[in-house]
Amino acid sequence: MADDASQTVTAVKKPDLEERLISLLDDKKRRYSAYAVLIAGTLLVPFIGDTYVMEILANSFFYIVLCLGLNIVVGFAGLLDLGYAAFFAVGAYTTGILTSHYGWNFWLTIPAAVVFSIIAGVIIGGPTLRLRSDYLAIVTLGFGEITRIAARNLKDISGGPSGLIGISRPSFFGLELIQIQHYYYAFFVLVLLAVFVSYRLQHSRLGRAWQYVREDEDAAEAMGIDRVAIKLYAYVIGAVFAGVAGCFFAAKMTAISPDSFQFMQSATILMAVVLGGMGKIPGMVVGAMALVLFPEVFREIGAMRMLVFGLLLIAMMIFRPQGMWPERRN
């Protein structure tokens, strides 16, 4: 009996680093303390970092917002979207056209971009979200390319292949947002808002409905869930995230062109979502940061850095397909 008990004790698997980290963050006080330290450290970066560091981090924040938006579509609702950059383009061109052609204030273009993003989401999502898996992916890919080609050919409106230039920079209580520090904080606030909205959605009735549809559409429909409407909500909300991010992107760059919204942009955002761990909000932060920071850290090896990055991604998908911060299922 004693030998059996000792074997049972030795057979108990010790928790690895990931399990210990997750169990540590399960405690609310520790989790909120960690978040407070992280936010405080992020706010202090402009005082200790140079322009290059802030530029890279601001770019990371921008991709975090996009990843959080696509995570609602792919991670929460289980829809494969290969044309997500189209909604990003809708927001960017809405701000660009309204500020450069009609002299609108930047902050007024954000509600307009939200409206146009919703309209675009309904137009593409309404007829196509009855499709599943590969068929839906093909349709979203086509929508992304149609949006980019339309922006390239509507020269009088979008500026054609050359794009729009002279987009007005926003001002905040008389302070014109010109320096990188301004956009660093603007994108960080956008990240905090996106994280908050994503968290509230994930733990709402709508979030649970998304989970049911993701796991089994037929069973969810048998339970009385309108799977098409539920998926449309995810598609539209994800579109709004991308549209708002596009507004700030256009303001920061002061110039946009159709080349900024190619298929590779959608693939890059999707890759960050998969890399971080679909369905997990912290995973979106980790995935976006890794996607932006890795090429910069290994910039010294030149063009080889993308090859190394690609090989690491392949290894990641083979040995850890659930992502860097996977969704924990009870």
pLDDT band at 8 (very low <50, low <70, confident <90, very high): very low
Give the pLDDT confidence score for residue 126 in this predicted structure: 80
- Is 70 exceeded by the pLDDT of residue 260? yes
Task: Give the phi and the psi of residue 279 in degrees, each rounded to 5.
Answer: 90, -5
- Is 90 exceeded by the pLDDT of residue 63? yes
The first and second tokens of residue 214, run together, are 């993701």
Give yes or no for a contact between 297 and 312, defined as CB atoms under 8 angstroms apart.
no
Q: Is 138 helix (H, G, I), strand (E, B) or coil?
A: helix
The first and second tokens of residue 271, run together, are 């890759």
Fold of 56-319: ABC transporter involved in vitamin B12 uptake, BtuC (1.10.3470)
pLDDT tens digits along 207-234: 999 999 988 888 888 888 888 899 999 9
93-125 in b/e form (b: 16+ CB < 10 A) is bbbbbbbbeeebebeebbebbbebbbebbeebb
pLDDT band at 57 (very low <50, low <70, confident <90, very high): very high
Which of residues 188 and 159 earns the better pLDDT score?
188
Strand runs labelled E in 211-305: 255-256
Give the pLDDT confidence score for residue 26 in this predicted structure: 61
- Is 60 exceeded by the pLDDT of residue 18? no
Least confident of 12-16, 73-77, 149-153, 287-291: 12-16
- Is 60 exceeded by the pLDDT of residue 245? yes
For residue 70, give the nearest of 283, 325, 311, 313 by alpha carbon.
283
Mean pLDDT of 61-86: 93
Least confident of 99-113, 211-225, 306-320: 306-320
Other Cβ atoms less than 10 A from the Cβ of 223: the count is 10
Average model confidence (pLDDT) across the chain: 85
Give the pLDDT confidence score for residue 318 in this predicted structure: 85
Give the pLDDT confidence score for residue 210 in this predicted structure: 93
How many Å apart are CA 55 and CA 7, to the nearest integer?
55
pLDDT tens digits along 161-197: 888 988 888 888 888 888 899 999 999 999 999 999 9
CA dihedral 305, 309, 310, 311 (to 10 degrees): 100
Q: Where are the chain's structural domains?
A: 56-319
% of the chain exceeding 70 in pLDDT: 89
Least confident of 35-39, 60-64, 203-207, 318-322: 318-322
% of the chain exceeding 90 in pLDDT: 39
- Is 50 exceeded by the pLDDT of residue 54? yes
Give the pLDDT confidence score for residue 19 in this predicted structure: 60
pTM summary value: 0.88
Which of residues 304 and 326 earns the better pLDDT score?
304
pLDDT band at 33 (very low <50, low <70, confident <90, very high): confident
